Chain A
Amino acid sequence: MKRENTTSSKVFDILNTIILTLIAIVCILPIWYTLCVSLSNKSAAAAGIVRLWPVGLNFNSYKEIMGDWKFFNSFWISIKRVVLGASLNFIVTVLMAYPLSKSPKEFPLRNLFMWLLIFCMLFNGGLVPWYQTVRSLGLIDNIWALVLGNSVPMFNVILVMNYFRNLPKEIEEAAEIDGASPWYILFKIYIPLSVPVLATVTLFSIVYHWNEFFNGLILMTRAEHYPLQTYIQQMVVVINTAGMSEEQIKELSKLSNRTLNAAKIFIAMIPILVIYPYLQRYFIHGITLGSLKE
């Protein structure tokens, strides 16, 4: 993209850079704060005096986590869940998006299927019927319960469908003249052309499965089966003591280790921090549609 060279343009660029950088700094502060707490002394953290620099710098929390097999066990479960879940989501998303991207003229029942999807996005029977369904399928404690649990990634399907819809018709027509089947068109033509949106929904899928903790709590009967965020969520409690039992009281002093909790939270964020830059190149350097012009 050629840039103008006027002063107003330069001023805009400078202002823009400053504003965006400031915004970015504000966004990173809570993460930085969490990191500082994780490296601080437990009692100092409990006193609330940790601000933007660790107080009583130490790596005890991280050392403790390294020795905590439960943390790594849940970490591994989350990895499995993400791999299975994101892959399955990807396949199903593109398979559904393609037919739905056709107009009603080309695919008569398309509107029916589309509205069915919208309906399912909005309506649900609540926790109990869903839980009973999963249970009757024998999926409790099974990783597939976590992968399949929240059904089709409907929002993603719609996003990709919309993107497919906006691809020039000529591409498809050209391929059809050459005798290509819909499968060929989808996998060999549409998908390579849709890298930005596919990278987006893949990211969403990965993030969803990585972050999701509630299903992990509901569908798993043992802590050994918890995905990572469920494992962490157990610890990060707000301490409200009224009506507590004696055991809970005794555990309170161990639970209220903010330093350790902060460390767990921080470590749980690292995979996300790592994966995004990897997928990012698909957002910034997209595939051009230049190939069309032939």
Chain B
Amino acid sequence: MAKKVLNVLLLSMFFIGVVSTNSISVAQSVDPFGKYSEPVVLNIAMSVAPTLTLPPGDNLENDQYTRHIKDNLNIIIKVAWQAASGDNYTQKVNLAIASNNLPDAMTVYTPAQLRQMVKFGQLEDLTEAYNKYASPAMKTMMKKAGKLVSSAVTFNGKMLAIPAINVPEDGYHLMWIRKDWLDKLGLKPPRTIDELEKVAKAFVDMGTIGISGPQSGGLLYANFLAATNNTFGFDPIFSAYHSYPGFWIKGADGNPVYGSILPETKKALAKLRDLYSKGLIDKQMGIRKDSAEPVVSGKSGIFFGPWWMGYWPLPDAITNDPKANWQAYAAPLDEDGRWTPHLGTPANSFTVVRKGYEHPEAVVKILNLLIRDESKFDFTKGGIGLYPLRVPMAPLDEGEVTVKAGKAVLAGIKKPEDYDVPQYDIYKLLRQDVRNIKEVKLKPYDRMDIQYWNPKANMTAWSRWYSLMVGCSPIYAAKSITKPVYSLIYYPTKTMETKWATLKKLEDETFMKIIMGVAPLDSFDKFVEDWKKLGGDEITAEVKEEIK
């Protein structure tokens, strides 16, 4: 009898032991921030600014970020290769894809490259890794960002990349205008197309070029493949006519249609053509060497661009003329007084893992760590862009919260220390921001004109705050009258791979010729016909299938 009891006891101890060990290891292995017991090596590619400087002794494989990752997760970052951000990095990624020589993980900045790798079957399925290991913070942001973002990285039900969730502000194109000239001429900031025309005329009479246009090689308007951050285009003018060239929107019959072939676009083109013929748009639009030059040299008083102009080109502009008071407005408005800009997708960069890499969850953990700890880093020791595999994930209201905080601190309602509480953890730059706003902003604090700023005190801080206060505020202020338009897709479909180049060439040629008076307005109708014939209809049908 005793023996039996002993056996049962031993057996049960065995089972308890086994069960509890299992649950411990299971719990450990699903920790979003779980440190590996053995070091895990991760080969990555890095897109680096050519002007990069790191503290002495640091290099890309040994800086504050890689050390943080090693200390917290026991992941060793090895940089397979680096390239300058932009074209060079794109080229090297293309080469890596083409020669089937992908690093273990990397970030790509075009949806085209992502789809290319998906097509070739070069990517590891991240569905499980994401479901198990993504931190609550990441999951929350992804959920809030919604279908727009998840559809960009899900292929046949599988999640093949981790997307960026960028601030929406990048997608808004504002009207930037020389307020000091308006004041001198006794004019109010224009709100409609007609008012804009009057102001442009007044500026031209002053001896300037009128409304700035794109430079040689620049875009007339952002399109569904490059939907944000277009400077010196005419996006707001098109939008005011409810014309969305370059975007896929819902037609009258509920089906997707390409915005460039709709009658609204013809109307907008007619107006631009009219403005150009009257000399109210830069005569050299489309062929100018650099559209920033007239802005910087004081030859242009109106241009359209995103919120961050305080980074570029305004610093040079105000160095040349400290009185240049560039202010931004949510304008022109449509006939009903509403602001109807087109917007982009928050997902414009993607982190991917090559097929066959043994630890895809390592990548998820690295990004978890980034979200949690971003505010703890000292950016003077290397910008956040150096964080391996970084895809920016920002809470969608980051801009608004920051602007609100800035105003509160300036008004004395709040102190910078008030933002040290955990609820502001996800706004990583906020604490630094609220501490330096008074360096660059002069009294009266509620006036945003250039004379009430002190850029020289801290140019970097000034760039950020001027962009936020002057570039972003109009977006928030216009919320009640804003009706934004999104594209139905932000990536290319199959037939586009072969036929889009031809269609786009036709579009670019026709539109530019119409605006500049080289071709008659009615050549638009022939364009629509040709566009449909040369593949447009085929592609439209594909888009319809895609968005089902």
Contact = CB atoms under 8 A, between A and B. Distances in A.
Q: Do A and B come from one complex?
A: yes
Interface of A: 42-44, 46-49, 127-128, 131-132, 135, 217-218, 221-223, 231, 233-235, 237-256
A157 B233 CA distance: 51
Interface in B384-438: 384-385, 392
A247 B320 contact: no
14 contacts: A42-B319, A46-B313, A128-B98, A218-B91, A222-B81, A237-B86, A242-B226, A242-B230, A246-B166, A246-B392, A247-B49, A247-B384, A248-B86, A254-B49
A208 B222 CA distance: 39
B454 to A, nearest CB: 17
Contact of A131 (B99, B227, B293): B99
Interface residues of B, number: 64
Contacts of B384: 247
Interface of B: 48-52, 60, 79-88, 91-92, 95, 98-99, 101, 109-110, 164, 166, 170, 217-219, 222, 225-231, 233, 289-290, 292-293, 296-298, 305-306, 308, 311-313, 315-317, 319-320, 348-349, 383-385, 392, 463
B297 A243 contact: no
Could you say which of A223, A233, A234, A248 has the most chain B C-beta atoms within 10 Å of its C-beta?
A234
Contacts of B293: 46-48
Contact of A251 (B49, B109, B319): B49
A217 B82 contact: no
A251 B383 CA distance: 10
Contacts of B219: 240, 242
A250 B222 CA distance: 20
Contacts, number: 142
A242 B80 CA distance: 28
Contacts of A222: 60, 79, 81-82
A249 B308 contact: yes
Nearest to A247: B385
A246 B228 CA distance: 11
Contacts of B463: 253
Contacts of A233: 88
Contacts of B82: 221-223
Given A131-B95, A222-B82, A241-B230, A234 B296 contact: no
A93 to B, nearest CB: 30
A221 B92 CA distance: 9
Contacts of B49: 247-248, 251, 254-255
A251 B320 contact: no
A235 B51 contact: yes
Given A217-B83, A237-B86, 8 more contacts: A43-B319, A43-B320, A48-B293, A128-B99, A222-B81, A223-B50, A245-B349, A246-B392
A132 B99 contact: yes
Contacts of B88: 217, 233-234
Contacts of B385: 246-247, 250-251
B235 to A, nearest CB: 10
A49 B311 contact: no
A241 B231 CA distance: 6
Contacts of B348: 243, 245
A235 B49 CA distance: 9
A132 B110 CA distance: 24
A107 to B, nearest CB: 40
Nearest to A132: B99
Contacts of B60: 222
Contact of A253 (B98, B99, B222, B311): B311
A114 B327 CA distance: 68
B50 A43 contact: no
Given A48-B290, A242-B222, A250-B383, A43 B316 contact: yes
Contacts of A231: 50
Nearest to B85: A248
A171 to B, nearest CB: 50
Contacts of A251: 49, 51, 85, 385
B533 to A, nearest CB: 28
A247 B85 contact: yes
Contacts of B86: 237, 248
Given A239-B292, A242-B229, A47 B316 contact: yes
